[in-house]
Amino acid sequence: MAVGAWLPPVELTASGRAALLPGEVERLFLSSVDIEAEENTTLTPLRSGLLALTSHRLIWINDAARLARSVPLSSIIHTFPPKKSIKNMFASPRVRIQVSANVDGKVVGGSGATSLVITIVMRGSKNDTESFYGKLWEVLKSKSWEVEEVKEKENAGDMRASVAGEASGRARVAVVGVAGILRKEQEMWESTDKSLQDAFQDLNALMGKAKEMVALADKMRQKLLSGSAAHTNDEEMGSKQEMQDWLLSVGIISPVTKESAGALYHQQLSRQLADFVTLPLEKAGGMIALIDVYCLFNRARGTELISPEDLLQACVLWEKYEVPVMLRKFDSGLMVIQSKDQSDAEVFARITSLAEKPDALKMGISPSDAALTLGIAPALAKEHMLNAESKGLLCRDVSPDGFRFYANLFREFEPRDIYLVKDHGLYQAWISAASAVST
């Protein structure tokens, strides 16, 4: 039997963070934690992992083995307050909870036929049972997982109702035909408008609404996604794509904060960042300037802003983990985040093909031209071009008009016969491009 199979498994992201459920927020991290089942020694204990307390679960992650298990908070029946006694002063601090389990002794979430007592042993030196117990108690009281469940049920109900409605016509007023659609749109618009108004009344309300807004954005995105399959109109697709991009960048639901992660702050931040940058990296073609990431990341974090130093430290920590991205520093000092599978060769190929277009052959390309075409920052484009130059792919032209790069034709020129032009080469292509009258 796999280690800890008595607890539900947890999916991990590429950077080794737990994949969170919709609406799930991390509240506290503890390092070097064991989870043991008391009274039942047949259940193998989980040894030395990272414990994350979220609004929905207790998640235990062993990084080395890439193994993660969770205890759904919904299955917790009772928590035993930490005892203070002389005996406990010398043992590792521990918190005990009673959880319900099914007949096989497996914890599955919700109430079950039997129950077992789990001991959470904190071996880390900085762990504090009091604050963990307090946070756990707080989270249990708020019962956020129930809210999500109810919402899900509602959604499912809606879906079923609308499917049924299409088939047989429903009892509710005017849901059929154009009037129905308009009415529905109006209703949705009004409720959206209301939540927007509420949200901006004051900052506290905004904080409260933030989660709702993110959920709304996510819902809209889902809707757009489901719609796009049916319509293939290009323009519509374009605007939808744009809308989707906006919605995608709305936010990170559970930002890692100093408060929740404590000593593990940078480590967790680093992993969250690694997960976060995958999407913008893909859009930017595999490389993105650190400054851009800083803006995107902080925007996604909403009110939990991080400092540039924290961001840099998070990036530096990537060297220690198995993450698909890396920090790269160019000779000029420019720092970028690059996905590991992006190779320089690919970038060179794109730049070369750009430089060999007739216009570029004639006029050369400036870093800002290249930035526009390649969809990257000008500083980054210049680094790429300087790299391509050092590989002999490009050469430079410095004039009062500025700094431009040209496809390197020097290789095509023949010093022994300076008038020689080969029939089918880049040299010939350049001559015809340069002699063409620009329109």
Partner 1 sequence: MQKLGDFRVPNFFNYPPYFTLQPIRETREKQVQLWKELILDYCRSQKVFIIGLEEEFPLFSNPAIQRSLSHESREVFLSALVSEGRAEWIDKNHRKCLVLWLRIQDWADHLINFVRENGLEDSVMTVEDIRSGIESRGTELAGIDRGVLIRALKLLEQKGKAAIFKGSSTDDEGVKFNV
Smallest gap from residue 429 Cβ to partner 1 (A)? 12
Question: What residues line the site for partner 1 (CB under 8 A)?
Answer: 364, 389-390, 392, 395-400, 404, 406, 408-411, 413, 415-416, 418-419, 421, 427, 430-431, 434
Smallest gap from residue 359 Cβ to partner 1 (A)? 14
Q: Which is nearer to partner 1, 205 or 421 (CB)?
A: 421
Smallest gap from residue 342 Cβ to partner 1 (A)? 24
Q: Which is nearer to partner 1, 201 or 368 (CB)?
A: 368
Smallest gap from residue 424 Cβ to partner 1 (A)? 15
Smallest gap from residue 369 Cβ to partner 1 (A)? 15
Q: Which is nearer to partner 1, 302 or 364 (CB)?
A: 364
Report the 3 state secondary structure along 243-283. Answer: HHHHHHCCCCCCCCCHHHHHHHHHHHHHHHHHHHHHHHHHH
Smallest gap from residue 52 Cβ to partner 1 (A)? 51
Q: Which is nearer to partner 1, 141 or 416 (CB)?
A: 416
Q: Which is nearer to partner 1, 223 or 411 (CB)?
A: 411
Q: Which is nearer to partner 1, 16 or 367 (CB)?
A: 367
Q: Which is nearer to partner 1, 120 or 433 (CB)?
A: 433
CB atoms within 10 A of CB 127: 21
Smallest gap from residue 367 Cβ to partner 1 (A)? 15
